[in-house]
């Protein structure tokens, strides 16, 4: 089916947007590594593609998928990779210079900032159908009632456990349904001579990412960082440190460091993500996961990681027809499953894609459930305010865990910083 594509609005990217994007970190199974230089390519049949996966080189399965979607659309794809911060900045600068790529994949918290600058086409302008995408995953790309891009998949957090450590302490993982039962399990484990829980409290976006399930699980709101609910969440983490249920290393732990600690076999629990599924299966001890518990029971909302595929505004609107075909190729149920497997694992953002993934790998069902309960960090109309709020939050976590301030004091300061930074 062919679609008429309107010429999108265009306004220049701002230096403030560049600065804001520099605060949005790379998470979990998202990208890492250096940038590969490249300029938008030449011929009419060449379509430029930028993604944040320098770890997947031109010989990788991922690169092969990209090229296959280009071939299906009758185009040659020129792919360039950057780390996330470099890519977001490059997208803004290229828009100013009129050299935007045809397709960009970008970590979901940055989508609203790019969209706010007017340099990304809406899905309606491209003629893309997003009606089947899970609303909680699509929300990171909704700005001012318009949708920009499609999530290619999502990852999120849960609690991995060491079945041997729990068994030795007489703890049934099914008993962990709220904060009190989790803390009781940590006490049983440490009383038995093992270690309780490890998580990432580092002073970066990873620290906010890992704290958010407890923050949201208490009923707190990112517009109100010093609410009683927020204080209770930070007191939970600080209490675990004070009681010896979590090590002091959590103050500086990245998510990778958390996983290294868990793989020693000494810890009962580790907060980590979908991207560790294969590593957990290969561990020297039996592992499982339980959903992150909300304070009073049920599953806490965790933040989503994962990238959106987007089409920057082009002066030559005739290019959009092929661009749409490339994007559609990447977002079929089969395409979502291929992405899920390539990144071991992303959960497809549609019911059809999730069903196809579970047919291949039924063991991923708890992660599909976790993604259903998750939400984007820029949801709740936070948009471009999120990086400022997040930095204030991770700073509060650092100050409280290190003992530089009480949780209440740290969050009061954070709320003041967030208000001054977003006004």
Residue 34 · residue 55 · CB < 8 Å: no
For residue 278, the SS3 value is helix
Surface-to-core class of residue 406, CB atoms within 10 Å of its CB (0-12 exposed, 13-18 middle, 19+ buried): middle
Q: CATH topology of 15-154+305-373 equal to that of 157-302+382-422?
A: yes
**What confidence score (pLDDT) does residue 12 get?**
43
**Cα separations in angstroms, 405 against 128, 197, 234, 293, 398:** 49, 22, 11, 26, 9
Alpha-carbon span 64 to 355, nearest angstrom = 24
**Of 367, 330, 319, 372, which Cα lies nearest the Cα of 345?**
367
- Give the start-to-end residue ranges of the domains of the chain: 15-154+305-373, 157-302+382-422
Cross-sheet strand order for the sheet of 46-51: 76-81, 46-51, 103-107, 307-310, 150-151
**Of 212, 10, 32, which Cα lies nearest the Cα of 114?**
10
For residue 288, the SS3 value is strand
Q: Which residue has the tokens 């001890």?
A: 285
**What confidence score (pLDDT) does residue 297 get?**
97
Residues paired with residue 106 on neighbouring β-strands, in sequence order: 308
**What confidence score (pLDDT) does residue 32 get?**
35
Q: Which residue has the tokens 């979502």?
A: 336
**Of 280, 392, 330, 271, which Cα lies nearest the Cα of 72?**
330
Q: What's the DSSP call for residue 388?
A: H
- The residue ranges of DSSP E strands in 179-286, in sequence order, are 195-198, 267-273
For residue 137, the SS3 value is helix
CATH superfamily placement of domain 15-154+305-373: Periplasmic binding protein-like II (3.40.190.10)
In the CATH hierarchy, which top-level class contains the domain 157-302+382-422? Answer: alpha beta
Pairing of strands 103-107, 307-310: antiparallel
Report the helix count and the strand count for the chain, using DSSP H and E: 18, 11
**What confidence score (pLDDT) does residue 64 get?**
94
Alpha-carbon span 407 to 389, nearest angstrom = 16
The CA-to-CA distance between both ends of the chain, in Å, stands at 45
- Model pTM score: 0.85
From first to last of the 423 residues of the chain, give the pLDDT tens digit.
333 333 333 444 444 444 444 444 444 444 333 333 334 444 579 999 999 999 899 999 999 999 999 999 999 999 999 988 889 899 999 999 999 999 999 999 889 889 988 999 999 999 999 999 999 999 999 988 999 999 999 999 999 999 999 999 999 999 999 999 999 999 999 999 999 999 999 999 999 999 999 999 999 999 999 999 999 999 999 999 999 999 999 999 999 999 999 999 999 999 999 999 999 999 999 999 999 999 999 999 999 999 999 999 999 999 999 999 999 999 998 899 998 888 878 999 999 999 999 999 999 999 999 999 999 998 877 888 999 999 999 999 999 999 999 999 999 999 999 999 987
């Amino acid at each position: 089916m062919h679609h008429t594509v309107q010429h999108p609005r265009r306004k220049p990217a701002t230096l403030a947007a560049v600065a804001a994007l520099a605060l949005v970190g790379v998470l979990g199974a998202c990208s890492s590594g250096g940038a590969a230089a490249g300029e938008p390519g030449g011929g009419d049949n060449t379509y430029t593609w930028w993604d944040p996966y320098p770890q997947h080189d031109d010989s990788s399965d991922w690169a092969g998928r990209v090229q296959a979607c280009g071939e299906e659309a009758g185009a040659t794809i020129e792919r360039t990779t950057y780390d996330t911060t470099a890519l977001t900045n490059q997208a803004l600068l290229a828009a100013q210079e009129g050299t935007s790529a045809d397709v960009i994949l970008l970590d979901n918290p940055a989508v609203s900032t790019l969209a706010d600058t007017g340099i990304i086409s809406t899905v309606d302008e491209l003629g893309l159908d997003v009606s089947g995408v899970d609303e909680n995953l699509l929300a990171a790309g909704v700005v001012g009632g318009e949708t920009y891009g499609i999530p290619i998949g999502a990852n999120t957090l849960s609690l991995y456990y060491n079945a041997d450590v729990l068994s030795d302490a007489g703890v049934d993982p099914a008993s962990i349904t709220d904060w009190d039962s989790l803390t009781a399990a940590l006490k049983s484990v440490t009383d038995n001579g093992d270690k309780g829980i490890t998580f990432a409290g580092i002073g970066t976006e990873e620290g906010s990412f890992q704290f958010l399930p407890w923050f949201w699980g208490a009923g707190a709101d990112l517009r109100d960082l010093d609410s009683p609910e927020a204080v209770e969440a930070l007191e939970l983490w600080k209490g675990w440190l004070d009681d010896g249920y979590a090590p002091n290393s959590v103050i500086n732990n990245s998510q990778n460091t958390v996983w290294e600690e868990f793989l020693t076999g000494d810890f009962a629990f580790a907060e980590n993500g979908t991207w560790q599924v294969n590593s957990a299966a290969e561990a020297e001890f039996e592992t499982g996961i339980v959903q992150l518990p909300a304070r009073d029971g049920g599953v806490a909302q965790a933040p989503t990681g994962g990238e959106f595929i987007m089409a920057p505004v082009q002066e030559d609107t005739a290019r959009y027809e092929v661009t749409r075909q490339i994007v559609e190729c990447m977002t079929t149920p089969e395409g979502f499953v291929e992405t899920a497997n390539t990144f071991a694992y992303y959960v497809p953002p549609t019911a059809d894609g999730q069903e196809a993934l579970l047919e291949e790998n039924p063991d991923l069902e708890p992660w599909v459930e976790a993604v259903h309960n998750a939400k984007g960090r820029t949801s709740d109309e936070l948009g471009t305010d999120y990086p400022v709020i997040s930095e204030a939050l991770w700073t509060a976590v650092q100050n409280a865990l290190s003992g530089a301030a009480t949780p209440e004091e740290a969050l009061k300061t954070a709320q003041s910083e967030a208000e001054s930074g977003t006004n």
